Amino acid sequence: MQTATTVLLGLLVVTALAYAAFWAMTLTKNRQWAWPTPYQALVGFITDFLDTLGVGSFAVTTALYRPLKVVEDHLIPGTLNVGHALPTIVQALFFIAAIQVGSLTLWLLIAASVMGAWLGAGIVSRLPKAAVRQGMACALLAAAVLLILGMVGAMPIGGTALELTGVRLVVACVCNIIFGALMTIGVGAYAPIMVMVSLLGMDPKAAFPIMMGSCAFLMPAASWQFIKNERYSVRAALGLTALGVPGVIIAATLVKELDVSTLKWLVLAVVLYTALIMLASPAEISEPKESE
């Protein structure tokens, strides 16, 4: 298992370097480099800090973008995947090294999520703006439901297993394909994976390397499509990455105990408000406050 873990960590480093090089070359070729605003960078720090603690980043980022119209609605899914990719890889390096999960289980679930993301991004990056907005609103409502279930103790508590076999492993792979595809419209995979892991009888702590490892590989795969089709905000994505990585490192190394229960209720209120506003928005997409 240790050898498989070492190989996986090595692949994460290679993925991070390859993704960073591809993104940087694309920005240079298209002359798209642009400094993020202080607010865009701050959003990166806050959301990836919370992401490392298991709160999730997609719904929170959307909620922080939407009121100020920092990013056009149809560009939010791409911005989330492109900007949070490198911080998520850093998360995965921490948790895969710290929590040992069955090698076959971890590898297959990661592969399944990447497959789903690749297929999903190709579709989402070409969807009409209004369809993306409605999808984002539904994603936020789904995230709110999962947050409520977790806060009232209605989530399954799980078992003690650190690997899956047979039918349970097949079911998990199918679910991760779906979760990977949903990531491309802004549905964060952390909460769904945590629920799935618990329902299948695994130790809840196994969810962390699984969900972070899955997202660490699927987000660069999905981002390739968004970057290629220019369906993301360059400035906002750079802001997420610039302070998102430090946010992850601080949360993973310095925060040992933090009561996030009150924080989750605040996040829930903001997420619900944002979802309802997006559903009530007119068909036209308003221009963002910051230039892209």
State the Cα–Cα distance between residues 50 and 56, nearest whole angstrom: 6
Q: With 50 as the cut, is the pLDDT of residue 290 above it?
A: no
The pLDDT confidence band at residue 199, using thresholds 50, 70 and 90, is: confident
The pLDDT confidence band at residue 144, using thresholds 50, 70 and 90, is: confident
State the Cα–Cα distance between residues 25 and 17, nearest whole angstrom: 12
Q: With 70 as the cut, is the pLDDT of residue 277 above it?
A: no
Q: With 70 as the cut, is the pLDDT of residue 204 above it?
A: yes
Predicted pLDDT of residue 258: 55
The one-character DSSP state at 132 is H
Average pLDDT, the chain: 82
Q: With 70 as the cut, is the pLDDT of residue 278 above it?
A: no
Question: Which of 112-126, 191-205, 270-284 shows the lowest per-residue confidence on average (mean pLDDT)?
Answer: 270-284
The pLDDT confidence band at residue 211, using thresholds 50, 70 and 90, is: confident
Q: What's phi and psi for 145, nearest 5 deg?
A: -60, -45
How far the first Cα of the chain sits from its last, in Å, is 45
